[in-house]
Chains A and B, each alone.
Chain A
């Protein structure tokens, strides 16, 4: 069954299957563009600081399974100058950070993630359920910063960086979640 005519409140709005009245944009009470508001960041803000200067320490590790469920693993890591040696945590390790992007004053949270299979560079996104802060995974803190700044500049979306450069991004300027581009264009 396909409707050929649609009436709303007594008014014909669809005739022969085509919309014949304009649809006005509803008023919004808040702007949904330029929604990436992050505090100035340095590499230190994305680098976990171990409580010991040098030596070995226990690390609680987030492990991502192929099912997309996660579990906790406990490993021993080597520390140099309060910085954890990523290689000492095991194979397939990267940093994972949540950067507040709604104007919150608190610093990013950073953990270690295993199982993403990220071999180099960084992947950042403002699609990060449920709060949709800016979530960034990376092997290099420098690349994570590059990706974060790229998303801050375009109003959010997905960005990939490697060796200090943005390799590509998908801008999602509406609330950092959506684009006004046609699906066919965005899908490419």
Chain B
């Protein structure tokens, strides 16, 4: 794990969790937006999917 953490740091990730920095990004109960395999961006509060693109 120390080796992988060093590699992750070399790629620029300086979050404290290092190689585990992304492990919560698909946990669709932590505010405010997360990613779901079922539809992409999810509004955690409403549990509704947010479109990736919108018309300006």
Contact = CB atoms under 8 A, between A and B. Distances in A.
A116 B26 contact: no
A186 B19 CA distance: 14
Interface in B3-56: 3-4, 7-8, 10-15, 17, 19-28, 30-41, 43, 50-56
A98 interface: yes
Q: Which of A72, A109, A131, A135 has the most C-beta atoms of chain B within 10 angstroms of its own C-beta?
A: A109
Interface of A: 48, 50-51, 56-60, 62, 64, 66, 68-72, 74, 76, 96-100, 104, 106, 108-113, 116-121, 123, 125, 127-131, 133, 135, 137, 158, 160, 162, 167-170, 186-188
B22 to A, nearest CB: 5
B26 A188 contact: no
A173 to B, nearest CB: 15
Nearest to A115: B15
Kindly state the interface size class of chain B when it binds its partner. Answer: 35 or more
B33 A123 contact: no
Given A98-B26, A129-B23, A71 B33 contact: yes
B29 to A, nearest CB: 8
A109 B4 CA distance: 25
B4 A70 contact: no
Nearest to A50: B53
Given A125-B22, A135-B22, A158 B53 contact: no
Nearest to B3: A168
B23 A108 contact: no
B41 A160 contact: no
Nearest to A166: B7
A111 B36 CA distance: 10
Contacts of B8: 123, 160
Contacts of B50: 60, 72
B8 to A, nearest CB: 6
B33 A125 contact: no
A188 B13 contact: no
A125 B36 contact: no
The 7 A-B pairs with the shortest beta carbon distances in the complex, nearest first, are A119-B12, A98-B37, A58-B54, A109-B40, A129-B27, A160-B7, A58-B56
A64 B11 contact: no
